[in-house]
Amino acid sequence: MTTVPTVRTAPTAPTAPVTPRPDAVGVSHTRIEGIEKVTGAARYASEVPFTELAHGWLVLSTVARGRIRSIGEDAVRAMPGVLTVLHHRAAPRVRDDVVGALGRPDPIVEVFQHDRIPHAGWPVALVVAETSEQAREAAEALVVEYDEEPHDTDFHADKDGVYTPQDAESTKGDLDAELAASAVVLDARYTTPEQHHCAMEPHAVTVRWHDGRLEVHDSNQGSKWLADDLAQLFSLDQSAVHVRSEHVGGAFGSKGLRSHHVAAAMAATELHRPVRVALTRRQVFAITGYRSPTTQRVRLGADEEGRLRAFAHENQSLTSNLREFVESSAAYGRVMYDAVAHHTVNRVVPVDVATPTWMRAPGEAPGSFAVESALDELAERLGMDPIALRARNEPAFGPVSGLPFSSRNLLACFDEGARRFGWAGRDPRPRVRREGRWLLGTGVAASTYQAGAAPSTASVTAEPDGTFTVRITAADVGTGARTALTLIAADALNVAPGQIHVRIADSDFGAAWVAGGSMGTRSWGWAVMSAARELRERLTLTGGEIPEDGLTAHADTGALIAALAQKERHSFGAQFAEAAVDVTTGEVRVRRLLGVFAAGRIINPLTARSQLVGGMTWGLSMALHEEAVRDQASGGHVGADFAGYHFAANADVPAIEADWVDDPDPDDPVGIKGLGEIGIVGTAAAIANAVWHATGVRHRDLPIRPDRVITAEGRRDERHA
Ligand code: MOS
């Protein structure tokens, strides 16, 4: 076949759109990969086909502390189909000093390096066989003997061993003096339980050596992040690891480098075959991270007009004995509320459990439950409307940072929300509305989440056929990022979205921020826009001529982001809830949720609303259902599956409305603030406040289970007897 160099003029003269395109940013688009997903054509990490594929099955410790005495591998090696058994005496060494793009990975990734058991569920072996069934059968037959040691997995307020990590405390003013001088004081403790991400797609990976490179088909939040961590761990060149993560069925903070990646890579290296390791739901609960339980004390002091004189938030979470992870609930008030005296601290206590990790709105989700419940309690004592109390305490600057806000449209969210929810004329008295067996109430809470941007690289290629290819190591964890980036590129190139092909989640595309911190689409969008602009300039210079192999422009936003003005960048929101409570059965039904957000420029209203509604559904679930329970005797979970760990299902979720006010970030060309996480923030408090308004009973411990409602009703009856 002869190739004739094709040099042609771009069909769409790249000129800046005078008005926004009617088919790109700001217009609802279904997901680009939607049909692939709903027809089952999309391949997830455990579905990529390979000949000679071997299957690994992890064996997890059944004791919570001790040492491995013996592993009965001989019997298992003789079982049908078994290819190898990896464990601490039969595994390659890995480095224990990896520092990646997001810091040290959880030491649980250093699998099979020693005989110590730091917590229940610690991976002790990987059994590899010809089929998944054979691997599972053999893994379950593997006899592991332990020398057990006493363990402690208990967590409660003021537990022995609690300490304050570095940079975990902020202090301003004389708290005791301001509390003493306050007309009204609230001092209350709140708790939230251990919660799990529960992504629909359990963690899975398929690994093989191919053309001298470790090729990893994965489900993760950042393929370059993962590739570089893996390369360090195995002392490989960065270029020797290639990670792809085309489709991800949910992540929420749990999908970074984990034990199964490392175990699969070890097995693929030993066997010279592709190896797949897919986790069961119970294994996901055990070894992929979770949100720590919290116990929080909030003290508020206010003058008679509701101005805060004292704001104190002390949070305690747990971590493992392997690594310090802090669920920074007390970060919430550092942005939301100022006071003459202001104290926030995140304390932590290590116990014999797996390390917790980031989970959707880490810190702000539990922190907002405590603070926004406390504000409601304070409003009650002041006889003030809870929205008016928040409006009275709107800070002009970041209460702790002292920085200006890039924009802070919280009150606009409350105004719009109050109008749509019908807040005006609400009777503030609790327990005065009844409908049959239901007591009815309404509640409100504020919401915030950080809105950052992180350096990313991207390339955009003008192809000779008139289309454009965008390459960026973004991750679409279900957010619709691929679609949003397509719209951003279409706008920047002033072409129809159908002419853009966005390729993501391939570590070979270079460094980029991860799908995390609500900063993915903003960080990637900025890089894509920069590359697209550069390409347009180059196309102008070449008169639109495109060589046979295309014309490519690259962008790296590192310098642009470093030059960003110092401001306090956050999204804000107002959450409204209506709850119905049957105090005889303890049942709580959320009837309405409305969230109005100031979350930057909205790229794709369809998927943006999906993210917000998804986050609010998580908040409902957090308020009423979710709670991972540990058996202190074994140190492991009870019912760590979708039968035992309750979360909101369709029948629990009412019509949820999410909307936004105009709030573009003025400081970057895309104007995004990010909205993956803010939806969950404040929702549980709004619901708990609605339950108080319905019943007259404060619920300070989540979830608001039927037995808690009934017990509280009993105590109330005693008081009123
Ligand atoms: Mo998200 S918890 O920032 O992955």
CB of 358 within 6 A of ligand 1: the answer is: yes
Please identify, among 562, 596, 623, the residue that sits at the C-terminal boundary of a domain.
562
**pLDDT value for 6:** 36
Q: Mark whether 142 and 272 lie in a shared domain.
A: yes
CB of 520 within 6 A of ligand 1: the answer is: no
Q: Mark whether 620 and 671 lie in a shared domain.
A: yes
Can 394 be counted among the known catalytic residues? no
* Whole-Å CA distances, 209 to 57, 214, 241: 19, 5, 9
Q: Mark whether 339 and 484 lie in a shared domain.
A: no
Strands 468-471 and 116-117 turn out to be: unpaired
Q: Which domain holds residue 325?
A: 49-362
Strands 275-278 and 54-60 turn out to be: parallel
And the tokens for 718? 């005693």
**pLDDT value for 667:** 87
Gap from CA of 304 to ligand 1 centroid (Å):
40
232's enclosing H/E stretch is helix 223-233
Q: Mark whether 20 and 76 lie in a shared domain.
A: no
Pocket test for ligand 1, best of 196, 252, 476 (most atoms within 8 A of CB): 252
67 part of a folded domain: yes
385 part of a folded domain: no
Please identify, among 520, 544, 562, the residue that sits at the C-terminal boundary of a domain.
562
Cis, bond preceding 703 (omega within 30 deg of 0)? yes
Q: Which amino acid is at 214?
A: L
Ligand 1, atom 4: nearest CA belongs to which residue? 253
d(CA 175, CA 190): 20
Of residues 364, 578, 627, 677, which has the active-site annotation? 677
Question: Domain of 266: which CATH number?
Answer: 3.90.1170.50
Q: Mark whether 306 and 432 lie in a shared domain.
A: no
Q: Mark whether 575 and 553 lie in a shared domain.
A: no
| pLDDT < 50 stretches in the chain | 1-18
d(CA 106, CA 222): 16
Count of domains forming the chain: 3
397 part of a folded domain: no
Residue 255 alpha carbon, nearest atom of ligand 1:
4
Gap from CA of 661 to ligand 1 centroid (Å):
24
Q: Mark whether 208 and 350 lie in a shared domain.
A: yes
Q: Mark whether 19 and 73 lie in a shared domain.
A: no
Q: Which residues make Cβ contacts (< 8 Å) with residue 94, sequence separation at least 6?
A: 110, 111, 113, 233, 234, 262
CB of 645 within 6 A of ligand 1: the answer is: no
Residue 359 alpha carbon, nearest atom of ligand 1:
2
Q: Mark whether 637 and 704 lie in a shared domain.
A: yes
Q: Which residues make Cβ contacts (< 8 Å) with residue 96, sequence separation at least 6?
A: 107, 110, 113
CB of 595 within 6 A of ligand 1: the answer is: no
CB of 253 within 6 A of ligand 1: the answer is: yes
**pLDDT value for 12:** 40
d(CA 222, CA 236): 19
d(CA 547, CA 551): 6
**pLDDT value for 19:** 64
Q: Mark whether 338 and 297 lie in a shared domain.
A: yes
Gap from CA of 380 to ligand 1 centroid (Å):
34
pTM: 0.96
130 part of a folded domain: yes
Gap from CA of 361 to ligand 1 centroid (Å):
7
Q: Mark whether 468 and 550 lie in a shared domain.
A: yes
441 part of a folded domain: yes
CB of 614 within 6 A of ligand 1: the answer is: no
Residue 221 alpha carbon, nearest atom of ligand 1:
4
Question: Domain of 538: which CATH number?
Answer: 3.30.365.10
Pocket test for ligand 1, best of 360, 364, 519 (most atoms within 8 A of CB): 360
Gap from CA of 677 to ligand 1 centroid (Å):
8
Length of the chain, please? 721
Please identify, among 562, 579, 609, the residue that sits at the C-terminal boundary of a domain.
562
d(CA 513, CA 486): 17
**pLDDT value for 720:** 83
CB of 14 within 6 A of ligand 1: the answer is: no
92 part of a folded domain: yes
381 part of a folded domain: no
Gap from CA of 341 to ligand 1 centroid (Å):
31
386 part of a folded domain: no
**pLDDT value for 20:** 76
CB of 196 within 6 A of ligand 1: the answer is: no
CB of 480 within 6 A of ligand 1: the answer is: no
Q: Mark whether 549 and 415 lie in a shared domain.
A: no
Pocket test for ligand 1, best of 358, 476, 479, 678 (most atoms within 8 A of CB): 358
HEC string for 483-545: HHHHHHHHHHHCCCHHHEEEECCEHHHCCCCCCCCCCHHHHHHHHHHHHHHHHHHHHHHCCCE
- pLDDT tens digits, residue range 170-210? 999 999 999 999 999 999 999 999 999 999 999 999 999 99
